[in-house]
Amino acid sequence: MQDIGREFWDKTMYRHLAPSAQERGLPQPPLQIRLGHGHGDAVELPDPHRVEMSQDLRTAIESRRSLRKYGPASLSLAELSYLLRGTQGVRRTIPGRATFRTVPSAGARHAFETVVWAHRIDGLEQGMYQYLAVEHQLMELDRSPELGDLLVSACLGQSFIADSAAVFVWIADWNRMAWRYGERGLRYLLLDAGHICQNLYLMAESIGAGVCAIGAFDDEKTNALFELDGTDRFAVYLASIGKRID
């Protein structure tokens, strides 16, 4: 590891940690935040349990691979609902304290918000939407026609993004994690992002689609695209998804 990596690893060891905000008795951050101006139209999502799966879990694990070429077919709104539920869906809420979701998270912090660039989703206008996990709804953020090009640019020119049916963007709400774990929470954010994206890979396989996880992106451009300050809220991981070519 280079010096910066060694320093990160060392400084996030327990022996270096100061008391967390929770240990100091400070109020807990909200369990969910609304990005942008938070006043977009709400889109009700179909029941995700009605989506028929074409593969069992074992087959999905064995056949999973990153996919960068997509067929022209759209995802249905029900399939998008299924994917969102499986990657960040809320199974149970303890109001003001915790959400329990379809993926693991350190201390049930679940410090990610999901934004979707909907490119080819039947029944949904093209644009950027935030997934409101507690309500299982989408909230419209931006319908600008150049969003696809801006995403490609932010992701260092990876042109296959523009051909996908959708792109998932996982945005960290740092204070939600740091409240309990302080600087150690940076490690947990990265671990949690991996849990989420792996679920997306496997669920995509089960509906005849494929995913490519994206870790190569310009942080400043990506954060600016979603009006994030890069300190308390910042993009951590992206993934494109589309139907397989027949």
Q: For residue 8, what is the domain's CATH number? A: 3.40.109.10
In DSSP terms, which residues pair with 140 in a beta bridge?
129
- Output the pLDDT for position 55: 84
Closest CA to 203 of 101, 47, 52, 91: 52
Domain of residue 139, residue span: 3-243
Structural domain total, the chain: 1
Q: Give CA angle at 133 (131, 135), nearest 5°.
A: 105
In DSSP terms, which residues pair with 42 in a beta bridge?
139
Q: Which residues contact 223 (CB under 8 A, 6 or more apart)?
A: 229, 230, 233, 234, 235
Mean per-residue pLDDT for 84-105? Answer: 97
Q: Any idea what DSSP says for residue 55?
A: S
- Pairing relationship of beta strands 75-76 and 121-122 according to DSSP bridges: parallel
Q: What tens digit of pLDDT does each residue of 126-137 get? A: 999 999 999 999
Q: What tens digit of pLDDT does each residue of 228-244 get? A: 999 999 999 999 999 99
Please, which pLDDT band fits residue 2 given cuts at 50, 70 and 90?
A: low
For residues 41 and 154, which has the higher predicted lDDT (pLDDT)?
154
Is the pLDDT at 38 greater than 80? The verdict is no
Is the pLDDT at 1 greater than 60? The verdict is no
Structure tokens at 169: 């963007």
